[in-house]
Amino acid sequence: MKTGYPARRLVSVIRSISTALSIMLALTIAGVPAAHAVEEVGFDEDEFNECVLERIRDASDATLVREIRDACLEEAQTKTSDPSEPTEEEGETTPLQARIEETAATEKMSFVITPYKPNYVMVGYNPDPNETPWQEAFPEEDISLDAAEIKFQISFMVPLVRNIIKDNGHLYIAYTNRSFWQAFNEEESLPFRETNHEPELWFQFDNKWKVFGFTNRLNSFGCVHQSNGRNEPISRSWNRLFANFIFERNNIALSIKPWIIVGDKIGNEDIQDYMGNVELRGAYKWRQHTFSLLLRNNIQSGFSKGTFQTDWSFPLWGRIRGYMQYFNGYGESMIDYNVHTNTLGMGFQFTDYF
């Protein structure tokens, strides 16, 4: 029996989603070998993770990961079976502090990639995709973009130098890849519509200043390049010097990130009018749910071209989380830096802000 077009399209969609998921899972599976074991026996995952982090900090180079895992499983089982043991209600670790400690722990593990920005894969729907750049670049072809596509982000960081100034001041490098894949567009042979590359270099300083009830926890100063790696006329790129000030209060984290643009802006000379010069981000953790909000604009323009993004991640199974994202504004991708985009997406997340 000959396979019909709807069936072929369904098989293609399943294959595309499977490929994207494989990319993301490859980056996360190394760092979570014992998550399933914690859940199967009903342990408190936060308590187990705290034990692992503490033992990693004190472990010698010869200590095996499975030794740490087994010891923490046994310790967690002992504590769970003893309900009379007192618990601390004051001085609890905040989500941001837990993220900082987890990051420091993974930096000492040779075969674990430390996440930077959230890593995720989702299906996004934009009712009005921007076809203009492609029509200009390929005037003799009839370019047609699907409203639905797969969007995924891969982001990781590596410490280059730690404790530059006594026990503070760390130099980091990071890379973020955000791709937009027309995985359901068989007419155009399932192309990648856009891929944005974003390497960064920055100095990071720990801090504990109190400001209006918040603690200024981290301050960073660095440079970032972002581009889509294409030739004219669809080349897009810019370079920035930035500062990033991160504050926390209980389950809330806020960041203020201003920047100045440096160097050439070939292909997007007016990018600051749309991408702005400051970014505000907030994240709130409620139980195992994380909600975040991004606001970006040009202060000098009177916020006439505002951009905002909301995110919600929630537990599914193991370390795999459900993920929903809504984007409204400019610059979801470099090719659309000056085009208003309205996208709703849903999928899976593998690492979050905390």
d(CA 243, CA 3): 56
Q: How far is CA 25 from the centre of its chain?
A: 14
Rounded Cα gap, residues 244 and 249, in angstroms: 17
Strand partners of residue 258: 278
- ∠ CA(31), CA(202), CA(162), 5° rounding? 65
Q: How confident is the model at residue 45 (pLDDT cuts 50, 70, 90)?
A: low
Please tell me whether residue 261 adopts helix, strand or coil conformation: strand
Convert the pLDDT of each residue in 224-282 to its tens digit: 999 999 988 899 999 999 999 999 999 999 999 999 999 988 889 999 999 999 999 99
Q: Cβ(299)–Cβ(322) under 8 Å?
A: no
- What pLDDT was estimated at residue 137? 85
Strand residues in the chain grouped as ranges (E):
114-115, 119-125, 148-161, 170-181, 192-211, 214-227, 237-249, 252-262, 278-286, 289-297, 307-317, 320-329, 341-351
Per-residue pLDDT for 4 more than 90? Answer: no
Q: Which 8-state DSSP code applies to residue 84?
A: T
**What's the pLDDT tens digit per position in 99-148?**
999 998 888 888 889 999 999 999 999 999 999 998 888 888 888 999 99
Query: Who contacts 44 (Cβ-Cβ below 8 Å, separation ≥6)?
Result: 76, 80
Handedness of CA 210, 214, 217, 221 (dihedral sign): negative
Residue 40: band (very low, low, confident or very high) from pLDDT cuts 50, 70, 90: very low
What tens digit of pLDDT does each residue of 154-171 get? 999 999 999 999 889 999
3-state helix, strand, coil in the chain (%, to 5): 25, 40, 30
pLDDT for position 108: 83
Given this model, what pLDDT does residue 47 score?
74
**Does residue 119 contact residue 155 with C-beta atoms inside 8 Å?**
yes
- Residues 173-193 pLDDT 10s: 999 999 999 999 998 888 999
Nearest-angstrom CA–CA distance, 117 and 103: 12
Provide mean pLDDT across the span 299-321. Answer: 85
Mean residue pLDDT of the chain comes to 83
Residue type, 289: H
Q: Which amino acid is at 294?
A: L
Six token digits for residue 216:
């200024």
SS3 241: strand
d(CA 176, CA 269): 23
pLDDT of 215: 96
pLDDT at res. 60: 67
Q: Could you give the domains of the chain? A: 32-92 (no CATH), 110-351 (2.40.230.10)
- Contact of 247 with 254, CB cutoff 8 Å: yes
Q: What is the mean pLDDT of residues 68-84?
A: 61
Percent of the chain with pLDDT over 70: 77
Distance separating alpha carbons of residues 284 and 292, to the nearest angstrom: 6
Q: Quick check: 72 pLDDT over 80?
A: no
Q: Are 149 and 123 in contact (CB under 8 A)?
A: yes
Q: Dihedral angle at the C-alpha atoms of 247, 248, 252, 254, nearest 10 degrees?
A: 0
Dist. CA 334–CA 226, nearest whole Å: 8
Q: Which active-site residues does the annotation give?
A: 225, 227
| Of 40-49, 135-144, 301-310, minimum mean pLDDT range | 40-49
